[in-house]
Structure 1
Amino acid sequence: MTVRVIPYLVMDGNANEAIEFYKEALEAEVMYKQTFGEGPDNPEYPLPEEAKNRIMHATVKVGENQLMFSDTFPGQNHQTGNQVTICLSTSDPEKSKKFYDALKQDGEVTMPLQETFFSPAYGSVIDKFGVHFQIYTEGQH
């Protein structure tokens, strides 16, 4: 089982520009990049046109480390200070649940831990100190 702590940068529509900047400035290598428009369709929630080219998720490698990126969804709150989160990435769903349950104590759940199309267990919380965490479980579900 692995556990990694990865800085996660949330941008307001300019994640692709930031990725290109870090490619040049930090010699970063893009490992993965997907826009909201490239994600699966959900007929119950049609994707607004202005969201289609925004980055849903990207991972870049800088040296031996990773940075992750996404854009906010159009209309979602974004302010300086909450654009950097910490992604706890693990290969064990039980470990993800343990981290999630511990971090949400006296904190705020921003997304319940749940199965998604990209993770068997994903959720996000703001802990009691105001630190934003994403809990990501690697692997297929």
Structure 2
Amino acid sequence: MPIEPYLFFEGRCDEAIAFYRDALGAEVEMLMRYRESPEPPDPARLPPGAGDKVMHASLRIGDSVIMLSDGSCSGQPGFQGFSLSLAPADAATAGRLFSALADGGQVQMPLGETFWSPCFGMVVDRFGVSWMLNVAGPAPA
């Protein structure tokens, strides 16, 4: 049974989808806006004009799926206490992905060799989502 993270971007979901398409090659598998819902959302839960915001989206990144939404469109996303982990095949791929995710974000640990990996790094992207990139295999001796 796979675990699929669900991220709430509080009004910036379209921007996040475009970013992950460019940075990670993500593919949109499904996208529904609030105005497309078969059941109208509770107007007390969403601000006026939220009909074009993303109610639910599903992105495929490699063999994994993440789900996204604008949530309540409050403008206050809170991504704390977790990281999404990517397992690139090699250091060159890790470098490309890391640079893309770091654009507008903040590097927490630069890509480099560790005792468990030839290439590992941590970055928080422009939306506040924490990512770890880890190339499998032992570090070179």
Tell me the TM-score normalized by structure 2: 0.48
TM-score, normalised relative to structure 1: 0.48
- Select the structure of larger CA radius of gyration: 2
Q: Which has the higher strand share?
A: 1
